[in-house]
Structure 1
Amino acid sequence: MRLSELETSFSSIPTDEKFVIDIMAELYAERIKKNVSQRELAEKIGMKQPQVAKLEMLESLPTLRTLNRYAKGLGLKLKVGLVPV
């Protein structure tokens, strides 16, 4: 896939889905930074490792509740805010 095709496909993603993708990317990066395995995180948040893997691969969009659960497992709190459009 060319860069222009990738940019076009990304720009077609609805804004609310981009928000979730961005949050999930930050959570994934934080998990790696803290050197926490998928299995360790899964145990902390009451999931199975394959479920965490599916979240990280964005096989489906996680709910805010699930994002918060993941964040709490890393000692973080999900904060959603409002900004003018």
Structure 2
Amino acid sequence: MTTWKDYKQSITSIDEDEMSIIDTLSKLQSERIERGISQKTFAERIEMKQPQLAKIERLDSIPSLKTLNRYAHGLGLEIEMRLRSGESV
């Protein structure tokens, strides 16, 4: 079975910034599923319509940071951002 980690290595058409968002969403969605929370129940929890949540999870659109935070908070999680030098040490 191919995993997301395996599959993403073959993707070259998505830039690094978008891939970071996709990775974060993938982890959040996996957490929702592992907890056994349906899309319908979760959408209600984060005050979103289920079709809108499905669209985000299908990546029909790239979610904003605000939307990712809303998703994370619905799971009792928090997204942390950090800055680091892009230069090699």
What is the TM-score when the length of structure 2 is the normalising length? 0.82
Paired position in structure 2 for 1:56:
57
Secondary structure in 2 matching 1:42? helix
TM alignment of 1:1-85, pairs within 5 A: 7=10, 10-85=11-86
2-structure distance, mates of 1:31, 1:48: 16
Deviation at 1:79, TM superposition (A): 1.1
Q: What RMSD in Å do the two structures reach over aligned CA positions? A: 1.3
Deviation at 1:82, TM superposition (A): 2.1
2-structure distance, mates of 1:60, 1:38: 17
2-structure distance, mates of 1:84, 1:31: 33
Secondary structure in 2 matching 1:11? coil
Consecutive unaligned residues of structure 2, counting only runs of 5 or more, are 1-8
Deviation at 1:12, TM superposition (A): 2.3
What amino acid is aligned across from residue 20 of structure 2 in structure 1? F
1-structure distance, mates of 2:84, 2:41: 35
Paired position in structure 1 for 2:3:
none
- Identity of counterpart residues, as a percentage? 49
Deviation at 1:20, TM superposition (A): 0.5
Paired position in structure 1 for 2:4:
none
2-structure distance, mates of 1:55, 1:83: 28
What amino acid is aligned across from residue 66 of structure 2 in structure 1? R
Give the count of matched residue pairs.
78
What amino acid is aligned across from residue 46 of structure 1 in structure 2? E
